[in-house]
């Protein structure tokens, strides 16, 4: 059982943008006579190349061992037995993608206290569907997986 909430179209767009930026920055870094400028542009190019390779893996996945949240800078895996619930809550991310509310996972942290993980790596999941927001669909799908895991 594996569900991916991401849009290949937007991931490809991100890859193209990162490739163009990385190529331009690499060219500028190699043409610089000033060593400090060359290093600065080289670091920026390296970050863009990293983004190029990371873009295809962005998203939220329900896997047999838990939920995997792959964002641009980090990957978080939450085991099914740590998940207290999946719901919509007031999000801190951009409302363009998730709406005024964002899907969140409430999980059991160290010491038994609840931790909230915001799922803001939905990409363009269901961008052109009008029956519900991407966040609402993600919450419904993850709750279905959670119910299946608990049974």
The answer to whether residue 127 scores a pLDDT higher than 70 is no
Indicate the pTM of the whole model. Answer: 0.64
- Hey, is 117 helix, strand or coil? strand
pLDDT digits (tens, 9 = 90+) for 5-49: 445 666 677 788 889 999 999 999 999 999 999 999 999 999 888
pLDDT band for 95, please (50, 70, 90 cuts): low
Going by C-alpha positions, the residue among 115, 2, 120 that lies closest to residue 71 is 120
What local confidence, expressed as pLDDT, does residue 27 receive? 94
- Looking at every residue in the chain, the average pLDDT score rounds to 78
Strand partners, 70: 59, 75
Q: Which residue spans within the chain are E strands per DSSP?
A: 3-5, 59-63, 66-70, 75-79, 83-90, 101-108, 114-118
In degrees and rounded to multiples of 5, residue 111 shows phi and psi of 80, 5
């Amino acid at each position: 059982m594996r569900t991916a909430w991401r849009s290949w179209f937007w991931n490809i767009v991100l890859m193209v943008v990162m490739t163009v930026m990385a190529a331009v920055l690499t060219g500028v870094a190699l043409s610089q006579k000033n060593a400090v400028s060359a290093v600065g542009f080289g670091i920026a190019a390296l970050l863009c190349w990293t983004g190029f390779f990371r873009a295809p893996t962005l998203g939220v996945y329900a896997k047999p061992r838990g939920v995997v949240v792959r964002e641009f800078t980090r990957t978080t895996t939450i085991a099914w037995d740590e998940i207290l619930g999946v719901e919509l809550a007031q999000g801190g991310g951009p409302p363009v993608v998730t709406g005024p509310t964002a899907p969140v996972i409430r999980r059991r942290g160290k010491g038994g206290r609840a931790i909230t993980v915001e799922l803001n790596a939905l990409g363009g999941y269901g961008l052109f569907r009008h029956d519900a927001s991407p966040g609402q669909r993600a919450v419904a799908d993850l709750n279905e997986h959670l119910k299946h895991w608990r049974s």
